[in-house]
Amino acid sequence: NNANSAILTVQGLSKSFGGVKAVNGLSFSVKKNHIHAIIGPNGAGKSTLFNLITGIISPDEGEVRFFSADITSLRSDHIAKHGISRTFQNIRLFPDMTVFETVLIGTYLLTGAKLAPALFLTKIFRENERAAKQRVEEILKFVGLWEMRDEYAAQLSYGNQRRVEIARALATKPQLLLLDEPTAGMNPKETKELMDLFTSVNNEGITILIIAHDMHLVNTLSDQITVINFGEKLVEGTAEMIQKHPAVIEAYMGK
Ligand code: ADP
Ligand code: MG
């Protein structure tokens, strides 16, 4: 069944920092169109896992496959071109860019950003530019930031800054979106609004892999949950399945 096939497969992934096995022989897969949550205590290796998947760092061992492609250790911009994009645990926005400019930069990742200066004068460039701006407008309307397009991104509310990051991630037309604790530090209203946004993104056919601590969010949104601790998979299943699991209760009580 194509709708239920794996979009991302992680096999035997390991990464150590000094003596610390941050990710330790981790294997799991994400099904197409799912919202798949990664949960686990602080220091469990969740962000390291995202850094391995997106090519920020290379694994010591193991493999990452996206559809049928082996994307292990590819450069992060190449991985983005394959159709994976992400947001970071700590919001990363350039201080001197407007919302519109920030998302426009995201689209250049896709169209081949390293343009020769002469190309800026060509018809092809102007057509690409027009299409890119059109796409930015669509995305900003989709995430609810169109009215704020000319404001400096880094000066928006925390919730809206996260929206900008998500918009920038969407600019590369991802098939898989990785969100690292996107609602950490958000108030309940911002959290609810972001959850609605994740559902809308998912309804557009984008698969989501999300790291979160908020169990209400996890239980409400997730089709599948992978629990990790000390870089290893503890349990995997639906919200109903994992809630009852002693290892999950123990990992969270021990936090
Ligand atoms: P989580 O996101 O689940 O809280 P992390 O993946 O950030 O956990 O970290 C897992 C472990 O790896 C921690 O012990 C952390 O200190 C360590 N770690 C992560 N990144 C680095 C790094 N770049 N250098 C050294 N140690 C790191
Ligand atoms: Mg983390």
Report how far ligand 2's centroid is from the alpha carbon of 73 (Å): 20
Ligand at shortest distance from the CA of 228:
1
Closest residue by CA, ligand 1 atom 6: 45
Position in ligand 1 atom list of the atom nearest CA 48: 6
Report how far ligand 2's centroid is from the alpha carbon of 114 (Å): 31
Residues in the chain with pLDDT < 70?
Answer: 1-4, 109-125, 251-255
- Residues with CB under 6 Å of ligand 1 are 17, 20, 22, 40, 42-48
pLDDT of 1 reads 45
Contacts with 54 (C-beta within 8 Å, 6 or more apart), sequence order: 76, 79, 80, 84, 86, 178
pLDDT of 247 reads 73
Q: Tally helices (H) and strands (E) across the chain.
A: 9, 10
Rounded Cα distance, 157 and 55, in Å: 29
pLDDT digits (tens, 9 = 90+) for 101-156: 999 988 876 654 455 555 555 666 677 888 889 999 999 999 999 999 999 999 99
Specify which residues 65 forms β-bridges with: 9, 70
Report how far ligand 2's centroid is from the alpha carbon of 89 (Å): 6
> Ligand 1, residues 20, 42, 56, 232: which to mutate, most atoms within 8 A of Cβ?
20
pLDDT of 193 reads 97
Report how far ligand 1's centroid is from the alpha carbon of 45 (Å): 6
The answer to whether the predicted template modeling score (pTM) of the entire model surpasses 0.90 is: yes
Position in ligand 1 atom list of the atom nearest CA 181: 2
pLDDT of 106 reads 84
Rounded Cα distance, 164 and 143, in Å: 8
ipTM of the complex model: 0.98
pLDDT of 118 reads 56
Report how far ligand 2's centroid is from the alpha carbon of 53 (Å): 14
> Ligand 1, residues 16, 17, 229: which to mutate, most atoms within 8 A of Cβ?
17
Rounded Cα distance, 21 and 23, in Å: 5
